[in-house]
Amino acid sequence: MQKIVECVPNFSEGKNISVIKKIAAAGKIKGVKILDIEWDKSHNRSLVTVVGSPSFVFDSVFSMIKIATKLINMEKHVGEHPRIGATDVVPFIPVSGISIKECVALSRKLGKKVAKELKIPVYLYESSATKKERVNLADVRKGQYEGLKKEIQTNPQRKPDFGLAKMHPTAGAIVIGARKFLVAYNVNLNTKNIEIAKKIAHKIREKNGGLKAVKALGFLVNGYAQISMNLVDYEQTNFDKVYEEIEKEAVIMKVKIKNSEIYGMIPLSSVVSAIKETFKAEGFKEDQILEKRLYE
């Protein structure tokens, strides 16, 4: 079986379309497919989904990181989404014929190369983490760019896995790792009160005793309160279940859901599962859904 890996590097740029296109273009090399490019101005963040054989994906992602390092200045970056670097986080995800262990090895290889050649401090997370306190991405990004810039040189606990304990002057730091598929899902409320979004996010996330495998934060995006989530194991909690739970909390707080959105690509099985569960569709099969066309 051919080894196929997916990688979804996230970049701290969601406003300058020219920069986003240049970063994505650097990743369009022989042997990979760019499946998706998405960006958000309020979060000031973008992501590129690339798939292919491990070695080609490795080269593609490094090329994108290299360009992002040249074009993004973290000293000037402002956005709603937590971040510590120009290329903020780089997860490798096994698709077929490859194990999570092999993805961990790939992530560590990339980490060493980034630290050595680009002089960017690298932190490993999720399955690649070398310390239990670095498994959770939120813990690695604690204090964000501004906080880490101070602590990386003074706090031994914030020493990177690769590279010097010193931020790159413009590109900051980077988090690299290996994980399972996740669903990035946002729910927007018909209110401008960000405190409501924060309260609902606090209630539903696993960390506070809420839904399993759900990470959530409250933001103000395009003038409306938003609950931004990462569903790190959709087989435990899928996006339809999260929507239902938020709807219940919204009623209690006397607001309504304005709309919701899936950010980036998601596994087809997640959509099929949601349709089966929500609409009680018996005998429903994956081949009844047209998959999203590959980005050309």
77 part of the active site: no
Which one is catalytic: 77, 81, 168, 202? 81
DSSP string of the chain? ---EEEE--EES-SS-HHHHHHHHHHT--TTEEEEEEEEETTTTEEEEEEEE-HHHHHHHHHHHHHHHHHH--GGG---SS--SBSEEEEEEEEEES--HHHHHHHHHHHHHHHHHHH---EEEEETT-SSGGGSSHHHHTTTHHHHHHHHTTT-GGG--SBS-SS-BTTTB-EEEEE----EEEEEEES---HHHHHHHHHHHSGGGT-STTEEEEEEEETTEEEEEEEES-TTTS-HHHHHHHHHHHHHHTT--EEEEEEES---HHHHHHHHHHHH--TT--GGGSPPPPPP-
Q: Kindly list the distances between the CA atom of residue 89 and the CA atoms of 85, 92, 224, 230, 247, in Å, as whole numbers in the listed order.
A: 8, 10, 26, 14, 30
Determine contact, residues 43/263, Cβ cutoff 8 Å. no
The residues assigned a catalytic role are 81
